[in-house]
């Protein structure tokens, strides 16, 4: 037991109440008006310098320590998902078709708890802590860029410029008591693609008079599987997934167009370049061979999330001090999921760490983005204690 975990447990009723309130009232990306209002109010109550409307609905607060030193960015995401909740929890979503199915309600509550904990330690702080409550981590939600980039466009990495950055995620693929802060890549870079194939429509009974974009789409989907199998080293990692194919309206009409959408995931810059090049070559080559024109759009969603070795080591040290009874994994842990914190970690050395939150005995082990997703709230106190301790350790 230690002072950080003690304080986090004392604050648990506060953390839990916030988390459940956010869960009852989830908001999609760039629409977190109620959530950001509560966040700003709680931070202002601490006497922090608060800026609202950063990146549309983001909130930034600055906590200045009593001693000079570096600036540390702590980032917490706020947005929910377009999912209908099926948990049956007493705090289930009251917003139809919207649900906190990834733990961001917990992240926001953790962030506000950490603000209280660090505010009580101003005298120990060497430098400043910049709290970032970010909108729209889950996707673009109709915008050109997501929440991290939107906040960066609004200058969140300036005045003052952070020297280091930390972020965390409750992780329901691992049990309560497991934590991870490893150096190197942790989450993949992501692209999303749209391919529009244009052929020549006609009667389904006269296919010889048409150029069928559905046949081209089927061949392209099959050929794309060769990229990972034959163009990427077995010792490297990549994913190419076609996740949507749309074409046609009638059983007896060969359509004029077909559209394919999907995602590409990579960790390494050279692997990414090779995969993107082969993707275009295959789509254009197969389409041309079957008489179709191909229009390709590939949009970068986020780079890979890569942890700095020195910062990760300090976060690991904090975990050993604060959570000595936990299973602390410092071995590389990677997932093909993506995270727009990667944009910030491209510019600032930092660490993105994971806190196990599942409890199988209580049925709290459904995966992220599942309608029954929920987590063991005991993880909230552990995460807040670890983040607060890691912040002080990183600041020196």
Query: Catalytic one among 27, 42, 77, 79?
Result: 79
Run of H or E including 22: helix 12-24
Burial of 214 (0-12, 13-18, 19+ CB in 10 A): middle
Is 77 considered catalytic here? no
Residue 155's nearest CA partner among 55, 15, 263, 8 is: 55
What's the rounded Cα separation, in Å, for the pair 137 and 29? Answer: 7
Is 137 considered catalytic here? yes
Q: Residue 17's CB: how many other CB atoms inside 10 A?
A: 12
Placement of tokens 């459940």 in the chain: 20
Query: Catalytic one among 42, 137, 138, 377?
Result: 137
What's the rounded Cα separation, in Å, for the pair 266 and 298? Answer: 14
What's the rounded Cα separation, in Å, for the pair 148 and 340? Answer: 6
Q: What angle do CA 387, 391, 396 make, to 5 degrees?
A: 150
DSSP 208: G
Q: Are strands 327-329 and 238-246 parallel, antiparallel or unpaired?
A: unpaired
What's the rounded Cα separation, in Å, for the pair 311 and 345? Answer: 11
Residue 366's nearest CA partner among 38, 60, 99 is: 99
CA atoms within 13 A on the CB side of 317: 12
Tell me the catalytic residues: 79, 137
């Amino acid at each position: 037991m230690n002072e950080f975990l003690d304080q986090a447990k004392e604050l648990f009723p506060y953390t839990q109440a916030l988390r459940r309130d956010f869960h009852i009232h989830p908001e999609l990306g760039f629409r977190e008006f109620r959530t950001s209002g509560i966040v700003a109010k709680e931070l202002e109550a601490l006497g922090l310098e608060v800026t609202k409307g950063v990146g549309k609905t983001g909130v930034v607060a600055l906590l200045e320590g009593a001693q000079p030193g570096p600036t540390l960015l702590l980032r917490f995401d706020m947005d929910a998902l377009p999912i209908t909740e099926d948990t049956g929890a007493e705090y289930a979503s009251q917003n139809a078709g919207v649900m906190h199915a990834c733990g961001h309600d917990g992240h926001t509550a953790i962030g506000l708890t950490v603000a209280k904990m660090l505010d009580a330690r101003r005298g120990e702080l060497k430098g400043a802590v910049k709290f970032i409550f970010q909108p729209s981590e889950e996707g673009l939600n109709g915008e050109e860029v997501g929440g991290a980039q939107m906040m960066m466009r609004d200058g969140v990495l300036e005045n003052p410029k952070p020297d280091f950055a930390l972020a965390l995620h409750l992780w329901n693929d691992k049990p309560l008591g497991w934590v991870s802060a490893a150096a190197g890549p942790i989450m993949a870079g992501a692209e999303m693609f749209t391919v529009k194939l244009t052929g020549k429509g006609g009667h389904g009974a006269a296919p010889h008079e048409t150029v069928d974009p559905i046949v081209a789409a089927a061949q392209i989907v099959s050929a794309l599987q060769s990229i990972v199998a034959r163009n990427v080293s077995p010792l490297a990692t990549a994913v190419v997934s076609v996740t949507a194919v749309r074409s046609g309206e009638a059983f007896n009409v060969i359509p004029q167009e077909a559209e394919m959408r999907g995602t590409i995931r990579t960790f390494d810059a050279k692997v990414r370049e090779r995969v993107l090049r082969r993707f275009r070559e295959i789509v254009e080559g197969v389409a041309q061979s079957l008489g179709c024109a191909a229009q390709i759009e590939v949009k970068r969603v986020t780079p890979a999330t890569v942890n700095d070795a020195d910062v990760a080591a300090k976060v690991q040290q904090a975990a050993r001090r604060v959570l000595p009874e936990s299973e602390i994994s410092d071995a590389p842990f990677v997932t093909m999921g993506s995270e727009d914190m990667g944009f910030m970690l491209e510019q600032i050395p930092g660490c993105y760490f994971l806190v196990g939150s599942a409890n199988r005995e209580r049925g709290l082990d459904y995966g992220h983005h599942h309608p029954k997703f929920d987590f063991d709230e005991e993880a909230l106190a552990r995460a807040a204690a670890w983040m607060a301790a890691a912040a002080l350790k990183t600041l020196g």
